[in-house]
Amino acid sequence: MNVNNTEIERKFLVDSLPEGLENCECLNIRQGYISTDPTIRLRQHNDEYILTVKGAARNNGLDRTEFELPLSKEQFVKLWDKTETGAVVKKRYLVPLKDGLTAELDIYEAQLDGFMNVEVEFSSLKEAVLFDAPDWFGAEVTGDRRYSNASLVKYGIPVKK
């Protein structure tokens, strides 16, 4: 796990589920926010616990700095009481793409039940700009703050424009 890095990613809605999803690795994720401005997030995925602090988005939402700190279960439980939002609950499927990339397909549960989006992380801005999305990806929402997890948990699923 990188403790301090720059995250470069693009985010899309989902038009249809990809073939072979049942064969992909799946993470059960629960996350909440101690703060949404600045973003200070607690995330549990399976048996891992992480505190993340995110910087402001740059380059039309393509990149931002991110600091991640692994937590013990006990630390996570104590900090969870400090969250100002409800929990985001989702299943994240890690779908292999061409060129060694991975699509992180999130299928939401609880109050966001049925909502889906997908993110792809890149090693460079050039790689992100040149990315050709697969057919199952829907409209791109990179940089649209309404589709951040912090906004989804606070305001619900956005109405499409």
Catalytic residues: 33
Token pair recorded at residue 103: 């699509």
Number of Cβ within a 10 Å radius of residue 144: 15
Token pair recorded at residue 77: 């439980």
Token pair recorded at residue 90: 């989702």
CA triplet 27, 29, 33: central angle to 5 degrees?
155
User: In terms of DSSP H, where are the helices of the chain?
Assistant: 73-80, 125-130, 149-155
CA triplet 113, 75, 117: central angle to 5 degrees?
25
Asked if residues 75 and 49 have their Cβ atoms less than 8 Å apart, the reply is: yes
Rounded to whole angstroms, the Cα distance separating 91 from 104 reads 10
Token pair recorded at residue 147: 């589709």
